[in-house]
Amino acid sequence: MKRVILAVAILVTSLAGVQAQKIKGSDTVLPLSQKEAENYMKAHSSQAITVTGGGSGVGLSALIEGTTDIAQSSRKIKFDEKQKIQESGKTVKEVIIAYDALAVIINPANKVTKLTREQLEGIFTGKITNWKEVGGEDVKIIPYSRETSSGTYEFFKEHVLKNKNYKSGIMSMPATGAIVQSVSQTKGAIGYVGLAYLNKEVKAIHVSNDKGKNYVAPSVATAKDGTYPIVRPLYYYYVTKSEKLVRPFIDYVLSPAGQKTVAEVGFIAL
C-alpha cells in the first residue's frame, strides 16, 4: 500500500520545465506527426509532444474544447467547426504541412488497372457491384471505407463521390492500415488510402478525372505536377493563443529537415 501511495505521490508532483504540447486528430497525418515529433524531440530534449489519432473530426473538436494544442487534419476545417471556435472567442490558424495523394487500391490478383471518377462513384455508392461491369472478372466488388470520423472519408466523399453518401453498409475500417491489410487479402476488394500506405501487397489503379481520356497512376511526381486528380493538403490547426507553444514545432515541420521527413514517410513535400 505504501508503495502505491508513493508512486502516486511521484506522479502528482509534476516535474517543472518541460514544454508539453498535444497533437491530436487525423490518422492519415498520425505517422507523419509521430515521426516529426520523434525527430524534433531528439534535437530539443526539453520538449514533450503527445501524438494521438482518432480522426480529423476528433482533433478539431478537441481543439474547440481546448483539449489539444494542434489539431492535425486531412481535410479543411468545416464551416461550422470554424464558427464554433470563433464563438468561444478564439481565432484558428491553418498551416498546410504536406500534401497527400489518395490512391485507390485493389487486390493484385485483380486484372482491372484503371477506372474513371464516375466508375469510382458508382462503386462506392453501390451502383456498380461487380468487377465485370468495369472490365474485370465476374467477382463481387467489396468496397472498403474508413470510419466516418476520418478526414479521408470526407475528402473522398466530397471529391470522388461528389458529396453523395457511401452505399449503406459499406465495410468500414478503424484505420487505414486495416484497409491495406484487408484489400491485400480479399480478391474483390477496393479501397482508398494515402500514398504513404501503398505497398507491394496491393495494387494502385490509374484514375481518370476526364471521363476516360487520360488515366494517371498515383505517385509523388503526378501528384506534384497536378495530373493525378485526388490530391489533398494535410493541415495543422491551432488557436492563436497557443502560437508561442506550438510555433517552434510547426516551423521545424516546415523546415527542410522536417520536409525531408515528409517525403520519407511517403507524403508529398510542399
Residues 21-40 within binding reach of other proteins (CB under 8 A) = 22, 27, 30-31, 34-35, 37-38
Provide, for the chain, the percentages of residues in helix, strand and coil under a 3-state DSSP scheme, each rounded to the nearest 5.
40, 25, 35
Q: Which is nearer to other proteins, 20 or 96 (CB)?
A: 20
Tell me if 188 contacts other proteins by CB under 8 A: yes
Distance set, CA 49 to CA 45, 89, 176, 250 (Å): 11, 26, 23, 12
Strand ranges (E), the chain: 19-25, 47-52, 70-73, 92-106, 114-116, 142-146, 171-173, 189-194, 203-204, 206-208, 231-239
Site for other proteins in 37-66 (CB under 8 A): 37-38, 41, 48-55, 57-58, 61, 64-65
Q: Which residue lies nearer to other proteins by CB, 48 or 221?
A: 48
Task: Please tell me whether residue 2 binds other proteins under the rule CB under 8 A.
Answer: no
Q: Is residue 227 classed as helix, strand or coil in its secondary structure? A: coil
Q: Which of 197, 235, 249, 252: binder of other proteins (CB under 8 A)?
A: 197
From the list 125, 152, 209, 259, which residue makes contact with other proteins (rule: CB under 8 A)? 125
Considering the complex, what minimum distance in angstroms separates the CB of residue 194 from other proteins? Answer: 8
Task: Say whether residue 134 binds other proteins (CB under 8 A).
Answer: no
Residue 177 to residues 101, 146, 174, 197, 198, Cα–Cα distance (Å): 16, 10, 9, 7, 10
Q: Are 173 and 144 in contact (CB under 8 A)?
A: yes
Closest C-alpha among 81, 74, 78, 36 to residue 56: 74
* Subset of 77-96 contacting other proteins (CB under 8 A): 79-80, 83
The nearest distance, CB 150 to other proteins, in angstroms, is 8
Instruction: By CB under 8 A, tell whether 14 contacts other proteins.
Output: yes
Q: How far is the CB of 94 from other proteins (least distance, A)?
A: 16
Instruction: Choose which of 97, 104, 106, 196 interacts with other proteins (CB under 8 A).
Output: 196
**CA separation for the pair 56, 24 (Å, rounded):** 8
SS3 139: coil
| Residue ranges in 229-268 that form contacts with other proteins under rule CB under 8 A | 265-266
Angle, CA of 192, 72 and 21, to the nearest 5°: 145
At residue 208, the 3 state secondary structure works out as strand
- Nearest one of 132, 82, 98, 113 to 212, comparing CA atoms: 113
- Pick between residue 197 and residue 238 the one whose CB is nearest to other proteins: 197
Piece of 89-97, 182-190, 205-213, 242-250 that binds other proteins (CB under 8 A)? 182-190
Q: Which of 86, 91, 199, 214 binds other proteins (CB under 8 A)?
A: 199
CB of 104 to other proteins, least distance (A): 17
Q: How many residues bind other proteins (CB under 8 A)?
A: 75
